[in-house]
Amino acid sequence: MNILVLLKQTFDTEEKIVIQNGRINEEGVEFILNPYDEYAVEEAVKIKEDSGAEITVLTVGPARSESVLRTALAMGADKGILVELEEEADEYTISNYIVAAIKGNKYDLILGGNMAVDSGSGQVTIRVAEKLGIPHVSAITKLFIEGSKATVERDIEGDMEVIDVHLPLLATAQQGLNEPRYPSLPGIMKAKKKPLNRLRAEDLGLSEDDAALRTSVQDQYVPPKKKAGRILEGDIGQQVHDLVHLLRSEEKIV
């Protein structure tokens, strides 16, 4: 079985976000493997341990994104692909670069995180599945593979849905699918020697239209600080009167 895991490098979730001129300031920021992608890597490694599958990990991004590939290789993946892209990209263009980078390769299973913690869009992996013409299931919490068929469980607003689907399949990992392992020291040392193929985005042969952005960020800002709560006093009638007055005169919402 051949497995492909799609990764993204994101801000460390402990980092303080600083906005300058409507853009996030990346100076001195620590970058990590997107936490949801860790579940995808762990699931792929578990399948490898059970069936001897080969795992390829792939990311699109600047040269520094190599670090997330090395992390995945240290967890147990076999080889990596880095599509170096320094300029701005959106979900449309990134999915096009991914499809171009894996052209000619066949994967029985493609895994990715349910979403990236920075953008939260959850689009790239699903776009890849659509472009490849294969079935996809998002936000899975369990995965069973037997022969050419997979059975997945996924969260659906407080309930669970069970789906049977034939391979090849693309699935995105949700929290609860597994418990990602920490890369061991021997794993980290081995990862340095595992093959990593670097591709330049401009060499993938995308048309001008496929490489053109379809969306753009107009502004970014930090949410305003929440005001302290207020406790209304007096009898019920007085509290209702005060509440209506506050909503009308201060909050301007009635």
Question: What is the residue type of 25?
Answer: N
The Cα–Cα gap between 52 and 31 comes to 31
Q: Are residues 98 and 188 in the same domain?
A: yes
Instruction: Establish if 213 belongs to a structural domain.
Output: no
* pLDDT (0 to 100) of residue 118: 82
Q: Are residues 136 and 250 in the same domain?
A: no
CB atoms < 10 A from the CB of 120, how many? 9
Q: Are residues 195 and 247 in the same domain?
A: no
Q: Are residues 154 and 186 in the same domain?
A: yes
Q: Are residues 175 and 98 in the same domain?
A: yes
Q: Are residues 47 and 156 in the same domain?
A: yes
pTM, entire model: 0.86
Q: Are residues 10 and 113 in the same domain?
A: yes
Count of domains forming the chain: 2
Q: Which domain holds residue 183?
A: 2-203
Instruction: Establish if 106 belongs to a structural domain.
Output: yes
Residues 199 and 101 sit within 8 Å (Cβ to Cβ): yes
The Cα–Cα gap between 101 and 143 comes to 26
Q: Are residues 235 and 113 in the same domain?
A: no
The Cα–Cα gap between 4 and 106 comes to 9
Rg (CA), the chain: 22
* pLDDT (0 to 100) of residue 117: 85
Q: pLDDT digits over 66-103, tens only?
A: 999 999 999 999 999 999 998 889 999 999 999 999 99
Q: Are residues 17 and 47 in the same domain?
A: yes
* pLDDT (0 to 100) of residue 226: 81
Q: Are residues 75 and 36 in the same domain?
A: yes
